[in-house]
Chains A and B, each alone.
Chain A
Amino acid sequence: MSKIVIIGNGISGVTAARHIRKNSDNEIVIISAESEHFFSRTALMYVFMGHMRFQDIKPYEDYFWEKNRIDLVFDYVNHIDTDSKILEMKGGSKITYDKLVLAVGSKPNKFGWPGQDLPGVQGLYTYQDLETIEENAKTAKHAVIVGGGLIGIELAEMMHSRGIETTFLVRESKFWRSVLPEEDGDLITRHIIDHKVDLRLNTELTEIIAGDDGRVKAVKTSEGDIVECQIVGLTAGVSPNVEFVKASKIEVDRGIKVNEFCETNIQDVYAIGDCAQFNESINGRRTIEQVWYTGRIMGETVAQTICGNKMPYNPGPWFNSAKFFDIEYQTYGLVLANREENENSFFWEHPKGKISVHVVWDKASGEFIGINTFGIRMRHDIFDKWLKEKVSVDVVMSELRSANFDPEFYRTYEKEIVDQFNSKTGRNVELKAKQWWRNLLAK
């Protein structure tokens, strides 16, 4: 029996712990300086908006940890001594380990803007950020959000829910244009404007200006405008939270360097989740992926390795989802912001402009490459299969009805989509009747 210490109680660390417990009798310790118990970072916005209380975003009841013999330490790790396998804690104590898992997550990017550390300027990542924004929102009338990504739009929605006017500075020509194709970005951009957000495209932050009270008073944009505000939300991406690891012997680049087994350069030390950087791309994925489910998969995987069943990280085809105000977004496979040479694509949009589908396939072979949907839910299982089997785009289009995951009685648009697909691409797809989706899987 060995003592396994996990730093970080986010999704990756907690998943690792759960699976280590499932597979072994090892002693397990989870250390975190953020919160006593695991909570869902992705749901912080809902606490602010009053959809849930903090206790509701904790996926496990508090008794869970003791019942599963997972010891929790609420403290900060100052230093990792890999030679003697000792962690030096901020609280003064020392914790020994046999195996160490680093699941220390990310931190918001700051690009050295003047005034970026003023009171009223903040990111949205931690529980503490949530407390800060509660405080800041009490008196704020106007907020400026910097950075047009997923967390930025969440912050905009949060402000909107409290009636705080919001200016949203986005560097690109459309919202999230670095990830979304033109048409998709356009749809969400319009939706943001519909919500009375003062969206400023092609605009960057140049300076944050302090008032007499030392708090933020306004920002200056690259267009030279001054926008008065009491809150500045910095949401220009996140990067691995590795500062405190750098003083140790563990190799760090942008993230903590790991091989396909999530092993670092030091024996018995692993890194998973947002903070891990793979030496090379696995299954064509980026070497750092900061999403919920990749952290979970790494946790599932590293637990196997730690319990003696050595296992490489092997994620399936890319997928993801998000919600932009009222519009849900799902993606399966790769729909790039800008189409590659070899790719063809088809975009369908509902006349009211809130629902769309964007499909990409290989020009030459017709192989399906990816799909973005807005306002339509799709079935992960089926797309996972299609992507693995590299089916033709015609198969995808003809079976759209069975792949739909919208709630019962929803109006569906497969007919319109396929008709338009045929007329725009000259292909000749026949839309099939809906069948029980598992039959499709079994094929």
Chain B
Amino acid sequence: MKNLKKIGFVVFMLGIVLFIGNIFMGEYKFDGDKIRSHFDSTPDVFDKGDSIASGFIDAVQQYEATNSAPTTNIVTFNAALPQIIDRHNHNVSDALAATEGLSSDDVQSVVSGANQESGIVYSEEVIRGALGDNENKVKMLVDNTSWMYTDQRDFADVAEFESTLQSKVDELNGSVGTQYHISKEKWSLLDINKAMVESGAKTSTWLWFFLTFGLIIIGSVIYNGTNYKILGEAGIKNDGIYHESATNRGWVAWIVLLFLVGFYVALYFFPQYIANAVLLVDPVSEGLSGNPASQWFLYGFIYCVAMSVMAIRMYIKYRHNRYQIFRTTVVLFFQIAFAFIIPELLVRFNMPYYDFKNAWPLDYDFFFTYNIESLIDNGTLGIFMLVWGIILTLIIVPIMVYFFGKRWYCSWVCGCGGLAETLGDPYRQLSNKKMWAWKLERYLIYSVLVFAVIMTGLVLYTFFTGSGSLFGIDTYYISVVYGFLIGSIFSGVIGTGFYPIFGNRTWCRFGCPLAAYMGIVQRFKSRFRITTNGGQCISCGNCSTYCEQGIDVRAYAQKGQNIVRSSCVGCGVCSAVCPRGVLKLENGPEENRFGNEGPIVLGNDGFELNK
């Protein structure tokens, strides 16, 4: 069995190495035809296709004329790509300016039309007089140069008029054909990378899918599965956790951290560099939504795979504990069905992409203008989604927290929680239990909640009033800042990337605004508590150590008090690891929810204080 486990590990590592290797493989070629087909979906482009394609080829040649660097690998390709896009956009505008822009003849005839005896006269009439036969050209000047009309201003002489006009025309010509410009946004860079790379991931996608995801899945299923025999009888098996480098912040932990952080940074900020990885899941994506994959699809796919294989580990580790088995199954279901498959299918049937279980303010862009608009534009279903999202946050969430505690969401439904409870489970002991960490937690999480509320308020203000700023705050800017700091850095890079060092619930404990909101309900108005079993606690500390939320459970248990804490996500692991049967997660009448309020623990009949 131990050998089989080693084989599993080797297969898994091979998969990981090939996955990383795959990213850097393949030959990258700048290809004008591919750029042309890039625009093929816009019908009127066909007659312009040639100039677009040649604009691109020219851009590449111009680039290569000044830069000797070969453009065949991922690094040099992406170093050159933005510059080539700039040139391409310039070339396309130039090429189209001849037919669609204003030529120097046009400028000359306007100038001569304006140069009248009484001096310079510039007006719509003059423009029509000079370019009357071409309505497009007239419109360009009327729309863009009315500020030059001489009923509003004077020109000293023809030279001044001509140079003013010429520079404006240059500008206009430069923006001719912007619809054929290539965007330098991340998604576009990723698309171009995907289109232009020649790699195994592209030509033999399924083979490479097997060599990467296939091996990773097979390897980790073997690795986790063998635990069934290796761990021996069912029961808590935390042996060696603090002896192992991977789970005790040793060098293995740091390598895993590097890998995770690297992945998140690429995903959020440099998706163009993982084009080959995205290509691997194109067939899956096409099968689901009918569209090629984006980096977000890749992320969702990896998320589901990671949760599934690590759920196997949970099933084996906690096979004596049905709370853990049920919880793991349900949270896995919600991730795969609600967060991954259903939204993709919605897209397939031309409905808005929507994760029905993702509640604002965790789902921080729910009230962003583009989202509201796309929902409203989608008719009944879209409106339903909008209303559902509001009901979810305002009614369902607090009511469920009242009855069951915030665990119903955090460890039974939520995707962030789901990953933390599966992929993150080996790291749960790393959460900080110190008093200062609890203080920091309260400052941070409520600040994020306030930030989320204010940000959403501003965005909604803009939605309803159309005004882009309130009290001098640019609402768009603030939503971008939130997305960057909270949405990407905190929840992703730190929240998950730092699992091996900070533990598995950093985001849920310190950052999640939805958790903050539910925590307030849980603390003050809920039937949930963890009951302490009288005087049975021996202060061993297993509960506190394995609490992923850094709650010092023992501090309550050894005093006979129940645990009623806003941050408790009800994972149930404190109860599972307690060797003396002291802790039970329970829902019940709120009366006496805090348990023993006095200083004397059950078992001492000597005296009762506070009575």
Give A contacts to B, CB under 8 Å.
11, 19, 22, 40, 42-43, 46, 49-53, 56-59, 61, 63, 161, 194-195, 292-293, 296-297, 300-301, 304, 311-316, 319, 321-323, 325-328, 330, 377-381, 384, 405-411, 436, 438
A155 vs B546: C-alpha distance when bound (angstroms):
22
Q: Which residues of A contact B241 (CB under 8 A)?
A: 50-51
A383 vs B282: C-alpha distance when bound (angstroms):
61
Give 23 CB contacts A-B under 8 Å. Answer: A42-B538, A43-B539, A43-B542, A50-B242, A51-B577, A57-B540, A293-B536, A293-B538, A293-B601, A314-B605, A316-B605, A321-B580, A322-B580, A323-B580, A330-B581, A379-B533, A380-B534, A405-B533, A407-B572, A407-B575, A407-B576, A409-B322, A438-B588
Q: A380-B536, A410-B322 are in contact. Are A296 and B601 (CB under 8 A)?
A: yes
How many whole Å from B579's CB to the nearest CB in chain A?
Answer: 4
A436 vs B326: C-alpha distance when bound (angstroms):
23
Q: Which residues of A contact B576 (CB under 8 A)?
A: 407
Of the candidates B435, B539, B606, the one whose C-beta lies within 8 Å of that of A61 is B435
Contact assessment for A316 and B604 in the assembled complex, using a CB-CB cutoff below 8 Å: yes
Q: A40-B540, A50-B241, A405-B581 are in contact. Are A312 and B606 (CB under 8 A)?
A: yes
Shortest Cβ distance from B606 into A: residue: A314
Q: Name, among A53, A194, A321, the residue most crowded by chain B CB atoms within 10 Å (CB to CB).
A: A321
How many whole Å from A223's CB to the nearest CB in chain B?
Answer: 29
Query: What 1/0 mask marks residues of chain B from 494 to 520 whose CB sits below 8 Å from any chain A CB?
Result: 000000000000000000000000000
Of the candidates A19, A50, A330, the one whose C-beta lies within 8 Å of that of B239 is A50
Contact assessment for A61 and B434 in the assembled complex, using a CB-CB cutoff below 8 Å: yes
Query: What 1/0 mask marks residues of chain B from 234 to 250 whose CB sits below 8 Å from any chain A CB?
Result: 11101111111000000
A53 vs B244: C-alpha distance when bound (angstroms):
12
How many whole Å from B506's CB to the nearest CB in chain A?
Answer: 19
Contact assessment for B599 and A49 in the assembled complex, using a CB-CB cutoff below 8 Å: no
Ranked nearest first, the 7 interchain pairs of A and B with the lowest CB-CB distance are A380-B534, A326-B235, A377-B581, A43-B540, A314-B606, A409-B322, A50-B243
A436 vs B584: C-alpha distance when bound (angstroms):
13
B43 contacts partner chain A, Cβ-Cβ < 8 Å: no
Contact assessment for B602 and A59 in the assembled complex, using a CB-CB cutoff below 8 Å: no
B82 contacts partner chain A, Cβ-Cβ < 8 Å: no
Contact assessment for B242 and A438 in the assembled complex, using a CB-CB cutoff below 8 Å: no
Q: Name, among A40, A312, A322, the residue most crowded by chain B CB atoms within 10 Å (CB to CB).
A: A40
B321 contacts partner chain A, Cβ-Cβ < 8 Å: yes
Contact assessment for B326 and A409 in the assembled complex, using a CB-CB cutoff below 8 Å: yes
A51 vs B600: C-alpha distance when bound (angstroms):
29
Of the candidates B320, B435, B534, B558, the one whose C-beta lies within 8 Å of that of A381 is B534
B554 contacts partner chain A, Cβ-Cβ < 8 Å: yes
Q: Which residues of B contact A43 (CB under 8 A)?
A: 538-542
Shortest Cβ distance from A436 into B: residue: B588
Contact assessment for A319 and B603 in the assembled complex, using a CB-CB cutoff below 8 Å: yes
A186 vs B558: C-alpha distance when bound (angstroms):
32
B214 contacts partner chain A, Cβ-Cβ < 8 Å: no
Q: Which residues of B contact A380 (CB under 8 A)?
A: 533-536, 602-603
Contact assessment for B536 and A51 in the assembled complex, using a CB-CB cutoff below 8 Å: no
- Within B50-105, which residues are at the interface with A (CB < 8 Å)? none
Q: Which residues of B contact A42 (CB under 8 A)?
A: 538-540
Contact assessment for A319 and B535 in the assembled complex, using a CB-CB cutoff below 8 Å: yes
Shortest Cβ distance from A379 into B: residue: B533
Contact assessment for A315 and B604 in the assembled complex, using a CB-CB cutoff below 8 Å: yes
How many whole Å from A259's CB to the nearest CB in chain B?
Answer: 14
A276 vs B466: C-alpha distance when bound (angstroms):
79
Contact assessment for A407 and B558 in the assembled complex, using a CB-CB cutoff below 8 Å: no
A301 vs B601: C-alpha distance when bound (angstroms):
11
A33 vs B108: C-alpha distance when bound (angstroms):
102
Of the candidates B244, B531, B533, B600, the one whose C-beta lies within 8 Å of that of A300 is B600
Q: A50-B241, A52-B541, A328-B579 are in contact. Are A297 and B606 (CB under 8 A)?
A: yes
A321 vs B533: C-alpha distance when bound (angstroms):
11
Query: What 1/0 mask marks residues of chain B from 520 to 552 whose CB sits below 8 Å from any chain A CB?
Result: 000000000001011110111110110000000
Q: A381-B534, A407-B576 are in contact. Are A49 and B581 (CB under 8 A)?
A: no
- Within B416-466, which residues are at the interface with A (CB < 8 Å)? 429, 433-435
Q: Which residues of A contact B536 (CB under 8 A)?
A: 293, 319, 321, 330, 380
Shortest Cβ distance from B232 into A: residue: A195
Contact assessment for A301 and B602 in the assembled complex, using a CB-CB cutoff below 8 Å: no
How many whole Å from A332's CB to the nearest CB in chain B?
Answer: 9
Contact assessment for B323 and A409 in the assembled complex, using a CB-CB cutoff below 8 Å: yes
Shortest Cβ distance from A196 into B: residue: B232
By size class, the interface of chain B is: 35 or more
B349 contacts partner chain A, Cβ-Cβ < 8 Å: no
Q: A326-B233, A407-B323, A409-B323 are in contact. Are A49 and B239 (CB under 8 A)?
A: yes
B589 contacts partner chain A, Cβ-Cβ < 8 Å: yes
B607 contacts partner chain A, Cβ-Cβ < 8 Å: yes
- Within B572-599, which residues are at the interface with A (CB < 8 Å)? 572, 575-577, 579-581, 584-586, 588-589, 591-592, 599
Q: Which residues of B contact A325 (CB under 8 A)?
A: 233, 235
A259 vs B606: C-alpha distance when bound (angstroms):
15
Contact assessment for A52 and B322 in the assembled complex, using a CB-CB cutoff below 8 Å: no
Of the candidates B326, B581, B584, B604, the one whose C-beta lies within 8 Å of that of A301 is B604
A42 vs B435: C-alpha distance when bound (angstroms):
24
Shortest Cβ distance from A313 into B: residue: B606
B555 contacts partner chain A, Cβ-Cβ < 8 Å: yes
Contact assessment for A384 and B541 in the assembled complex, using a CB-CB cutoff below 8 Å: no
Shortest Cβ distance from B326 into A: residue: A409
Q: Which residues of B contact A410 (CB under 8 A)?
A: 321-323
Contact assessment for A319 and B534 in the assembled complex, using a CB-CB cutoff below 8 Å: yes
How many whole Å from B428's CB to the nearest CB in chain A?
Answer: 12
Contact assessment for B585 and A408 in the assembled complex, using a CB-CB cutoff below 8 Å: yes
Of the candidates A59, A161, A195, A405, the one whose C-beta lies within 8 Å of that of B539 is A59
Contact assessment for B323 and A315 in the assembled complex, using a CB-CB cutoff below 8 Å: no
Q: Name, among A328, A377, A378, A379, the residue most crowded by chain B CB atoms within 10 Å (CB to CB).
A: A377
Of the candidates B243, B541, B606, the one whose C-beta lies within 8 Å of that of A40 is B541
Q: Which residues of B contact A381 (CB under 8 A)?
A: 533-534, 602
How many whole Å from A405's CB to the nearest CB in chain B?
Answer: 5
Contact assessment for A56 and B541 in the assembled complex, using a CB-CB cutoff below 8 Å: yes
Shortest Cβ distance from A439 into B: residue: B589
Q: Which residues of B contact A11 (CB under 8 A)?
A: 539
Contact assessment for A436 and B540 in the assembled complex, using a CB-CB cutoff below 8 Å: no
How many whole Å from A380's CB to the nearest CB in chain B?
Answer: 3
Q: Which residues of B contact A409 (CB under 8 A)?
A: 322-323, 325-326
Query: What 1/0 mask marks residues of chain B from 284 to 326 whose CB sits below 8 Å from any chain A CB?
Result: 0000000000000000000000000000000000001111011
Q: A49-B240, A50-B238, A315-B603 are in contact. Are A323 and B535 (CB under 8 A)?
A: no
A57 vs B554: C-alpha distance when bound (angstroms):
10
Contact assessment for B322 and A411 in the assembled complex, using a CB-CB cutoff below 8 Å: yes
How many whole Å from B430's CB to the nearest CB in chain A?
Answer: 11
How many whole Å from A137's CB to the nearest CB in chain B?
Answer: 12
Q: Name, among B235, B538, B605, the residue most crowded by chain A CB atoms within 10 Å (CB to CB).
A: B538
How many whole Å from A111's CB to the nearest CB in chain B?
Answer: 27
Contact assessment for B584 and A52 in the assembled complex, using a CB-CB cutoff below 8 Å: no
Shortest Cβ distance from A47 into B: residue: B242
Q: Which residues of A contact B599 (CB under 8 A)?
A: 19, 22, 300
10 new A-B contacts, CB < 8 A, other than A22-B599, A50-B243, are A40-B538, A43-B542, A304-B607, A328-B581, A379-B533, A380-B602, A381-B602, A407-B572, A407-B585, A438-B592
Of the candidates A49, A313, A326, A411, the one whose C-beta lies within 8 Å of that of B234 is A326
A182 vs B147: C-alpha distance when bound (angstroms):
104
A325 vs B609: C-alpha distance when bound (angstroms):
38
Contact assessment for A438 and B323 in the assembled complex, using a CB-CB cutoff below 8 Å: no
Of the candidates A19, A46, A384, the one whose C-beta lies within 8 Å of that of B540 is A46
Q: A51-B238, A438-B589 are in contact. Are A300 and B606 (CB under 8 A)?
A: yes
Q: Which residues of A contact B320 (CB under 8 A)?
A: 326
How many whole Å from A390's CB to the nearest CB in chain B?
Answer: 15
Q: Name, among B234, B323, B606, the residue most crowded by chain A CB atoms within 10 Å (CB to CB).
A: B606
Q: Which residues of A contact B605 (CB under 8 A)?
A: 314-316
Query: What 1/0 mask marks residues of chain B from 359 to 403 whose CB sits below 8 Å from any chain A CB?
Result: 000000000000000000000000000000000000000000000
Shortest Cβ distance from B324 into A: residue: A407
